[in-house]
Amino acid sequence: MQRLTLQDAEKALAAGLAKATEIGQPMNVAIVDDGGHLLAFARQDGAIRASIDIAQRKARTSILMNLPTAALTPLVQPGAELYGLEHTAGGMVIFGGGIPIHRDGELVGAVGVSAGSVEQDVTVAEAAVAALA
C-alpha cells in the first residue's frame, strides 16, 4: 500500500507556496493523506482567513470523490445529477483548487488551495501535485 509521508507533504507544500509567490497571490495550501487528514498546511502572509477552511475542504473533497474539485462544478449545477452534493459529508467544496494525489494508480492524498481566483488556486494546486511526480 502506497502512503503519502510527511516528507512528501512538505515537498508538495513548498512547491505550492513557491508557485503562489511566483504568481503574486498569497495562498492557503493544505496537504491531506488518503483519509483526508491534514499532513501539512501553510497560510501565506496576506492570504484570507476564510480560505483556511476552504483549502482543507477542497483537499478532503478531492479524497472523498477521487476527483479534482474543478471536475465537480458542472455536475452540481441546478438540474445536474449531483445537484446539492456540496451539502453532504460535512460540506464539500465543488469548485477548483483541490486535486487528488495518486501513486501507481492508487489514491494517496490530496492538495487543497484557496485564496485566489479559481484559476490561481488550480495553478498552485497543480504545482504542488507536480512536485511529487
pLDDT tens digits along 51-96:
999 999 999 999 999 999 999 999 999 999 999 999 999 999 999 9
Nearest to 65 by CA among 112, 28, 132: 112
Nearest to 61 by CA among 4, 107, 14, 20: 107
- pLDDT of 74 reads 96
Determine whether 67 is exposed, middle or buried from the number of CB atoms within 10 Å of its CB (0-12, 13-18, 19+): middle
CA atoms of 39 and 102, how far apart (whole Å): 16
Instruction: Render pLDDT for 7-57 as a digit per residue (tens, 0 to 9).
Output: 999 999 999 999 999 999 999 999 999 999 999 999 999 999 999 999 999
Q: What residue spans of the chain are helical by DSSP H?
A: 6-23, 50-65, 118-130
Q: Cell 492570504 maps to which residue?
A: 47
